[in-house]
Structure 1
Amino acid sequence: MIRQQQHGFDYVDEGQGPVLLLLHGLFGALSNWEEVVAEFAPHYRVVIPVLPVYDMPLLQATVPGLVAYVENFVDKLQLPTTFTLLGNSLGGHIALVYTLHNPSRVTQLILTGSSGLFEDGMGGSFPKRGDYNFVRERVGYTFYDPAIATKELVDEVFAVTNSNAKCLRMISIARSAQHHNLAGDLHRIKVPVLLVWGLNDTITPPPVAHDFERLLPQAELRFLDHCGHAPMMERPAAFNCWLGQFLQRTVSANAVATLA
């Protein structure tokens, strides 16, 4: 993936066709979506902004602040009027609020390990500053297979926890996500929604996925076994299979509805 910079944004923009806008989580990065980009860029325009979770002004380090950032990103890059939105963890939360604020722009919504109803962030605690082993354990908690938590990933999170400024923003955003419960609003999202969840997700456990399915009018739920909080990283082939089938069905249905 080739990173670009324009209008003050750092992002990936690959492929041509209908737009897939991908949003990473609080500890996420562009690399989380490598397998999705590889699979779908030949047929879609895959766009991934780097969310400024560690750099934005502290008072804006909230879920609403990140939604405003995505809205500005979409406008400045002049993305098409409608697109598909996909979010993991905090990125799913942002995607939900964006959809609630901009219902005419989002045609399909995909959530995986999304916050918005409940999350047990980092296993119930934030990483301890200066304790590398603790950070490694907590990052591993994200996955069914702790080996997915590579040294590079652990090092990245460890660096964040050793920066007071970054930690303050991380904590502010995490608290905002926990307080910004969407249970009373999800009935207003009328677009097709695909929920892809790890059966072994300990941060947003399977009952959370069932709650999303119950509260979202057009949701379908798919579980992946031996999979934690980031299915697109841990089970990429299966994740891409479910995503591809969903897009093929719903994009075709939207095209027929538009012609009608």
Structure 2
Amino acid sequence: MSNNLITEGKFSYAEAGEGQPIIVLHGLMGTLSNFDGVFNHFSKNGYKVIIPELPIYSLPLLKTNVKNISKFLKEFMIFKKIDKAILLGNSLGGHIALYFTKLNLKNVTGLVLTGSSGLYEKSMGDTYPKRGNYEYIKEKTKEVFYNPDVASKEMVDEVFSSVNDRSRVIKTLAIAKSAIRHNMGKDLPEMNTPTCLIWGKNDLVTPPEVAVDFEKLLPDANLFWVDKCGHAPMMEHPDEFNRILENWLKERNL
């Protein structure tokens, strides 16, 4: 997908399809390719799927937080002349979607959250990953998935590169602290937006009880479980993820 990136001004994004816009928001260590299955399926089935590169590592340090990435999303939607969209986010991407919805309810047709932060998440350990220790990074990356084979060498190499880049480490920590500060617990009951929660039963980062809490706190949410699945259902079980989401969109006429 990186070969198909469109760059216009400060925005880089992948886009395909026509119809109702679905804007996909990747996580902190995530990439656009994490959503290949979603991108390919829904862009051929009546939706315009757009995946922007979030400025996690390009914002000034003092602006590296959930609030400013949410502002970036608003600017992106204005740039693309999109008034309303379905927002689909994994991990930090889900948190960005929630924070954006809190401030821009009229611009959100529906929410799709999978392994979303915003209430609670467990980081890659109690302390930041040990820089320089490849095997440690490899094990921690594999823990994100129920099936460790999903963590390809390319993925491990990318995470390893990030945690050994001083600037990225500092900004990753800034985002992590921001995510804790911007807990959405008090805001969720006011967010009367159709919400689809697709959660891995074996998620160690945002455990199943987090999904249950999201369902309780959001006024209009449906929770779907994916068995033998960790923190990224759209990667581990793309066909099942797409089936669940497609059925939910049809039921909600979205």
Using the size of structure 2 for normalisation, the TM-score is 0.96
Corresponding residue to 1:26 among 25, 28, 32: 28
CA–CA distance in structure 2, aligned partners of residues 233 and 33 of structure 1: 7
CA–CA distance in structure 1, aligned partners of residues 57 and 126 of structure 2: 20
* 1:172 partner SS: helix
Shift of 1:52: 1.5
CA–CA distance in structure 2, aligned partners of residues 77 and 123 of structure 1: 38
What per-residue deviation string (whole Å, max 9, x for no partner) do you get for residues 20-44 of structure 1?
0000000000001000011110121
- Whether the 8 Å contact between 1:3 and 1:12 is mirrored in structure 2 is yes
CA–CA distance in structure 2, aligned partners of residues 240 and 172 of structure 1: 33
Corresponding residue to 2:218 among 216, 224, 248: 216
CA–CA distance in structure 1, aligned partners of residues 101 and 18 of structure 2: 23
Match of 1:100 in 2: 102
Shift of 1:54: 1.7
What per-residue deviation string (whole Å, max 9, x for no partner) do you get for residues 78-119 of structure 1?
22x211111000000000010111101101110000000000
- Whether the 8 Å contact between 1:55 and 1:166 is mirrored in structure 2 is no
- Are 1:128 and 2:104 an aligned pair? no
- Whether the 8 Å contact between 1:232 and 1:239 is mirrored in structure 2 is yes
Instruction: For structure 1, list consecutive stretches of 5 or more residues without a partner in the other structure.
Output: 253-260
- Are 1:48 and 2:51 an aligned pair? yes
Q: Could you tell me which amino acid in structure 1 is paired with residue 131 of structure 2?
A: R
Corresponding residue to 1:166 among 164, 168, 175: 168
Q: Could you tell me which amino acid in structure 2 is paired with residue 64 of structure 1?
A: K
Match of 1:65 in 2: 68
What per-residue deviation string (whole Å, max 9, x for no partner) do you get for residues 196-221 of structure 1?
00000001000000000000000010
* 1:251 partner SS: coil
CA–CA distance in structure 2, aligned partners of residues 12 and 251 of structure 1: 25
Instruction: For structure 2, list consecutive stretches of 5 or more residues without a partner in the other structure.
Output: none
Query: What are the residue-to-residue correspondences of 1:1-260 with 2, within 5 Å?
Result: 1=1, 2-42=4-44, 43-79=46-82, 81-251=83-253
Q: Could you tell me which amino acid in structure 2 is paired with residue 41 of structure 1?
A: S
- Whether the 8 Å contact between 1:106 and 1:191 is mirrored in structure 2 is yes
CA–CA distance in structure 2, aligned partners of residues 151 and 127 of structure 1: 17
Q: How many residues align?
A: 251
- Whether the 8 Å contact between 1:108 and 1:192 is mirrored in structure 2 is yes
CA–CA distance in structure 1, aligned partners of residues 103 and 158 of structure 2: 33
* 1:147 partner SS: helix
- Whether the 8 Å contact between 1:123 and 1:203 is mirrored in structure 2 is no
CA–CA distance in structure 2, aligned partners of residues 68 and 159 of structure 1: 28
CA–CA distance in structure 1, aligned partners of residues 12 and 127 of structure 2: 30
* 1:124 partner SS: coil
Q: Could you tell me which amino acid in structure 1 is paired with residue 49 of structure 2?
A: V
CA–CA distance in structure 2, aligned partners of residues 33 and 251 of structure 1: 23
Shift of 1:56: 1.4
Q: Could you tell me which amino acid in structure 2 is paired with residue 52 of structure 1?
A: P
CA–CA distance in structure 2, aligned partners of residues 48 and 144 of structure 1: 25
- Whether the 8 Å contact between 1:108 and 1:250 is mirrored in structure 2 is no
**Paired-residue identity, %:** 45
Tell me how large the CA RMSD over aligned residues is: 1.0
Using the size of structure 1 for normalisation, the TM-score is 0.94
* 1:237 partner SS: helix
